[in-house]
Amino acid sequence: MPRILVGSVQDITSEHPVFVRDGEIEIGVFRLGTEFRAYRNRCPHQQGPACHGVVTGTLVATARSNWRPEWVLDGQVLLCPWHSMEFDLTTGARIRGRGERLRAYPVHVIDDQVYVDIGVRGSIVERNAMKAKT
């Protein structure tokens, strides 16, 4: 399975993702505490460069908060720079969406080096998604 070296663990900070490329596919690698996530840099909304967006939080109001707005998920919400669509960086799923997701790639840390497995989403999951549409 194709595997791309992203860099050492220390190279990837929570402030800035690191980008790697597989042909025309750009992948953003994010640090979330001690974990890493890798997503294709393409928003499912209008194909904007989602991974270039700001990582922030969002506002929700629930029965648990007695319908008072609460700022939540700070440092976990990626905003696409084109239309501010919100994605949960832990899963790649659009927050409060219709099931849209950023394409995710498996990340491995081996001897303090971060790798992204490419081909998995492209060859298996993407095909499954296409099959699901038909």
State which of residues 9, 11, 22, 81 lies at the interface with other proteins (CB under 8 A).
81
- Shortest spacing between CB 131 and other proteins, in angstroms: 19
Residue 55 CB, shortest distance to other proteins, in Å, is 8
Question: Judged by CB under 8 A, which of 62, 65, 84, 123 binds other proteins?
Answer: 84
Binding mask 23-62 for other proteins (x = CB under 8 A): -----------------------xxx-----x-xx-x---
Report the alpha-carbon angle 56-61-62, nearest 5: 125
3-class secondary-structure state, position 36:
strand
Query: Binding to other proteins by residue 97, rule CB under 8 A?
Result: no
Q: Are 91 and 98 in contact (CB under 8 A)?
A: no
Strands 35-40 and 25-32: antiparallel
Closest CB to other proteins among residues 31, 42: 42
Q: Please identify which residue in 4, 60, 73, 79 interacts with other proteins, judged by CB under 8 A.
A: 79
The whole-angstrom separation of Cα 124 and Cα 131 is 11
Q: Which helix (H) or strand (E) holds 69?
A: strand 69-79
| Count of residues that interact with other proteins, criterion CB under 8 A | 13
